[in-house]
Amino acid sequence: MNLLFSINDKFVTQLATVLLSIKLNTQAQEFNVYVLQKDKLKRTDDLERVCKQLGMNYFPIKVNDQLFNKAPVTDRYPTTIYYRLLAHRLLPQDLHKILYLDADVLCINDLSSLYETSLDGYLYASAIHTNLTNTTEVINKIRLQNFDADGYYNSGVLLMNLDTIRKKVKDTDIFNYIRTHTLLLPDQDVLNALYGRYIKSVPDQLYNFDTRKGGIYETISFGEWTTDWVMRNTVILHYCGRDKPWLPTKNSGRYTALYKNYFQMTNKLISAALLLSPEEVN
């Protein structure tokens, strides 16, 4: 199972939390963890030790900014927004499929069902976040002019068909679109505007559950998607928004305590990993 992340040093512990949650809840023979990074992470040793403890293979991918020398780059559009969109250029060419995950997710059931989703005829698989109305969806379709797409996909969980992406996703198309449009969420807007019609929709209540909207999920499912249902069936919880569960704030969301438990286990794992000798790490 190939996993992709893009982080800086501020999110090493969060990434380790995602990995721990995947390891505890997913049956897979081998995990390969690819991490896109502008500069070598200062906490590389921590991440390597954690992956060693979890039996995962760690592959850092240092991004050469020369790839973006023709890209529009500003304070609003830094080079990092291109990493996810051009991952197929940055990853080894012998990779065929990879699952990109934001560092603010938690895996609470087996990830294999998502990873094994067929991508025949599609570039990506992703989820459209549930809402009580379709007003936002209509606005996004007007704003991005992608009326034939199913909706506005969240790119925080993105299964990639790398072989097909390499054939159809072009740097110049992405650079030109950003150059000629005003975007709210740059990389996500580009993904939806240019490639929304080539994204396979997967149910967000299973694979990209917005933890802010527990009440909405229950309402639209007529009381079926309760917390108990989520714990049995949902694969990925996504802690969207500003009130991140690892922050020492008064975040009383129904899934905050669950994240804090995994986060605490991860800190213990990191502490234990520090006790490994260099020989054990290597």
pLDDT band at 77 (very low <50, low <70, confident <90, very high): low
pLDDT band at 279 (very low <50, low <70, confident <90, very high): very low
Residue 133 has pLDDT above 50, yes or no: no
Question: Which pLDDT score is estimated for 179?
Answer: 86
**What would the two tokens of residue 203 be?**
């149910």
Convert the pLDDT of each residue in 14-68 to its tens digit. 999 999 999 999 997 899 999 999 899 999 999 999 999 999 999 999 998 888 8
* 66 C-beta neighbours (distance < 10 Å), count: 7
Does an H or E element contain 99, and which? strand 97-101
Give the pairing of strands 153-161 and 124-128: antiparallel
CATH numbers and ranges of domains, the chain: 2-281 (3.90.550.10)
Residue 177 has pLDDT above 80, yes or no: yes
The number of angstroms, rounded, from the C-alpha of 87 to the middle of its chain's C-alpha atoms is 12
